[in-house]
A = this chain, B = another copy of it.
Amino acid sequence: MNFSSRLERALTQQNSLLCVGLDPDLAQMPTHLRHHDECTQIEFFCRDIIDACAPYVCAFKPQIAYFASVHAESVLEKLCHYIKQHYPYIALILDAKRGDIGSTATHYAREAFERYHADAVTLNPYMGLDSIAPFLQYADKGVFLLCRTSNPGSTDIQGLRLENGRLLYEHLAHTIAQVWNANHQCGVVVGATFPEELARVRALAPNLPILAPGVGAQGGDIASTVAAACDSKGLGLIINSSRAILYASSGTDFARAASRAAQTTRDAINICRKMPAN
């Protein structure tokens, strides 16, 4: 089964478009965990978040920078293994935004798919299709390519107008849909902070899965994101939320608070999709 079909199955079975981003920032961690060393704090925190949110999500998205900055790659390995073992139907998206060529890209693909066993990885497309190819050689895995990111500065390059009249991110969405996605392994990252751009990408790429970060702390709106980016079946969209769920409480009830926040967000998304909220 190709990545696109597997992803659709995860969304359907879980009746959820919600992805919880695992961005464990020690500075925001519950205070009662602080007597542990840094790696243990991150492991306990993330494992409880995973268990608390699993009923309400289609995907988890660990952000590797938060682990790399504190020497915690081995913790990320354990958490990825934990997710695959206990929640095999939930998609594991490694947020790494890698982008390199030839044998280096092969090593990054090995990192994502063999070391962390991710189902998909976020990639930066600036170096072109041959920088993506080593990832696509894993036939059952997927890649989410940065297209129109959620930050204000994303216009600097992604918003440049080409001589063919299209904006760069529009050209990219079209190229990915028409050329790069031959084996149904590609998706795109488009910020929920830009609903008009989400709608443009959906129009140019009717069948590409869209990963939309930026709901919650960054100010993206659920209703306009769903309206702009769901495909014709009410699928094809993964809405990521990190901080608003991870740090819903900084007390000993952090996991319960995260669980409630995940459920509320999942339900709010489903109401906009006109799905039963369970």
Q: Which residues of A contact B (CB under 8 A)?
A: 23, 25, 63, 65-66, 68-69, 71, 73-74, 77, 97-105, 107-108, 110-111, 114-115, 124-131, 146, 149-158, 160-163, 165, 168, 171-172, 175
Q: Is the interface of A mostly helix, strand, loop or mixed?
A: helix
Counting every copy of the chain, the complex holds 2
The 8 Å CB contact of A69, one of B115, B128, B131, B150, is B115
Q: Are A101 and B150 in contact (CB under 8 A)?
A: yes
A–B pairs, 24, beta carbons within 8 Å: A25-B103, A65-B104, A65-B111, A68-B111, A68-B115, A69-B115, A71-B77, A73-B73, A97-B99, A97-B124, A101-B153, A102-B151, A124-B124, A124-B127, A125-B126, A126-B146, A128-B149, A128-B151, A128-B157, A129-B153, A160-B171, A162-B162, A163-B163, A168-B168
Q: Are A149 and B127 in contact (CB under 8 A)?
A: yes
Specify the chain B residue showing the minimal Cβ separation from A127. Answer: B149
A157 with B97, Cβ < 8 A, contacts A63-B104, A110-B69 known: no
Cα A264 to Cα B97 with chains together (Å): 37
Q: Are B68 and A108 in contact (CB under 8 A)?
A: yes
Cα A128 to Cα B169 with chains together (Å): 13
If A101-B150, A127-B149, A131-B151 are given as contacts, then 4 extra A-B residue pairs at C-beta distance below 8 Å, sorted by A number, are: A71-B73, A127-B154, A156-B175, A157-B172
Q: Which 3 A-B pairs have the closest CB atoms?
A: A128-B153, A130-B153, A128-B156
Contacts of A149 in B (CB 8 A): 101, 127-128
Cα A124 to Cα B114 with chains together (Å): 24
Contacts of A127 in B (CB 8 A): 124, 146, 149, 151, 153-154, 157-158
Which of A97, A107, A110, A126 counts the most B-chain CB atoms under 10 A from its CB? A126
Contacts of A162 in B (CB 8 A): 160-163
Rounded to whole Å, the gap between the CB of A40 and the closest CB of chain B is 18
Cα A23 to Cα B65 with chains together (Å): 21
Specify the chain B residue showing the minimal Cβ separation from A154. Answer: B128
Q: Are A107 and B160 in contact (CB under 8 A)?
A: no
Q: Are B146 and A107 in contact (CB under 8 A)?
A: no
A158 with B68, Cβ < 8 A, contacts A63-B104, A73-B73, A101-B150 known: no
Q: Are A125 and B160 in contact (CB under 8 A)?
A: no
Q: Are A101 and B69 in contact (CB under 8 A)?
A: no
Cα A125 to Cα B97 with chains together (Å): 12
